[in-house]
């Protein structure tokens, strides 16, 4: 059965003290109140990873993730962070291809394919983001567009490796806007992507891949979204910065 995952994308928020406080709160509330088997992934800025890792109890369902990695293994790439470095501080998940990175840092499908391979080589689970702009949705071509993003970056993977990927569908028009996709819109996309994966690989493989929804997911709408057959959790931005909201979302399965 595929995993239920709620991943918090802190983006460029929280200084060190604030990051420590937020992580401690999440750990404590989850320990006392989280009754399901959901995996919680905390994705703070790189600079906090090493310290926050030390707070996370070994036997908990909380995992450490990063928001990015570089697409080359090592070398003269000033300011970048490699998958080996991430692995060495206990990172287990890495978000790649977030729409903010695609847009502001010109990340390409090819670079994302490289990142995916490097992450899998060191045993880190990629959380591969995809999603369409409002213009594309209004053109009616959103399903094909997002399927194409997945094809371009992931479909070179072997049948074994594709099953190690987590996909996060995040319509750009819903990110940070307070405008969530309806559960019907999200379910339609998730089901379409699963079928798309099944056509290239197999139905069984497609059934094993967790597909998360992201974009203004919050404690009020998470239950309805997570109740959909093909939605396996969420990638949470704004609401992941408040421990209580983040845990309430994780309790929504």
Question: Active-site residue numbers?
Answer: 98, 170
Evaluate whether 83 touches 73 at the Cβ level (below 8 Å): yes
Binding to ligand PGA by residue 67, rule CB under 6 A? no
Angle at 127 between CA 251 and CA 44, to 5 degrees: 70
Strands (E), 49-99: 62-66, 93-96
What does the per-residue mask of binding to ligand PGA show for 176-215, with x meaning CB under 6 A? x-------------------------------------xx
> Least separation, in Å, of the C-beta of 131 and ligand PGA?
9
Residue nearest ligand PGA, CB atom distance: 237
> Least separation, in Å, of the C-beta of 59 and ligand PGA?
28
- Whichever of 5 and 206 has its CB closer to ligand PGA, that residue is 5
Evaluate whether 95 touches 132 at the Cβ level (below 8 Å): no
- From 237, 249, 250, 251, residue interacting with ligand PGA (rule: CB under 6 A): 237
Binding to ligand PGA by residue 170, rule CB under 6 A? yes
- From 6, 236, 247, 250, residue interacting with ligand PGA (rule: CB under 6 A): 236
Closest CA to 219 of 190, 167, 180, 187: 180
> Least separation, in Å, of the C-beta of 245 and ligand PGA?
10
The whole-angstrom separation of Cα 49 and Cα 51 is 6
- Whichever of 27 and 235 has its CB closer to ligand PGA, that residue is 235
Helix axes 16-33, 243-250, angle to 10 degrees: 40
Question: In terms of C-beta density within 10 A (0-12 exposed, 13-18 middle, 19 or more buried), how is residue 246 classed?
Answer: buried
Binding to ligand PGA by residue 65, rule CB under 6 A? no
Evaluate whether 49 touches 63 at the Cβ level (below 8 Å): no
> Least separation, in Å, of the C-beta of 179 and ligand PGA?
9
Which residues contact ligand PGA (rule: CB under 6 A)?
9, 170, 175-176, 214-217, 235-239
């Amino acid at each position: 059965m595929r995993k239920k995952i709620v991943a918090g994308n802190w983006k460029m928020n929280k200084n060190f003290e604030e990051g420590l406080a937020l992580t401690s709160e999440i750990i404590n509330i989850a320990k006392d109140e989280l009754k399901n088997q959901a995996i919680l992934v905390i994705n703070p800025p790189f600079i906090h990873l090493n310290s926050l890792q030390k707070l996370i109890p070994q036997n908990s369902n909380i995992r450490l993730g990063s928001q990015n990695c570089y697409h080359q293994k090592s070398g003269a790439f000033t300011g970048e962070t490699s998958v080996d470095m991430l692995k060495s501080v206990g990172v287990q998940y890495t978000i790649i291809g977030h729409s903010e990175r695609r847009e502001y840092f010109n990340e390409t499908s090819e670079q994302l394919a490289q990142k995916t391979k490097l992450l899998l080589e060191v045993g880190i689970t990629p959380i591969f983001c995809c999603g369409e702009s409002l213009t594309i949705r209004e053109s009616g071509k959103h399903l094909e567009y997002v399927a194409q993003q997945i094809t371009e970056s992931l479909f070179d993977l072997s049948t074994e490796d594709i099953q190690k990927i987590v996909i996060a569908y995040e319509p750009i028009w819903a990110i940070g806007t307070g405008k969530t996709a309806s559960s019907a819109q999200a379910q339609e996309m998730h089901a379409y992507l699963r079928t798309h994966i099944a056509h290239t690989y197999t139905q069984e493989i497609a059934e094993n891949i967790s597909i998360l929804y992201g974009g203004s997911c919050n404690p009020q709408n998470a239950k309805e979204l997570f109740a959909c057959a093909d939605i396996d959790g969420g990638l949470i931005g704004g609401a992941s910065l408040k421990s209580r909201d983040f845990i309430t979302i994780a309790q929504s399965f």
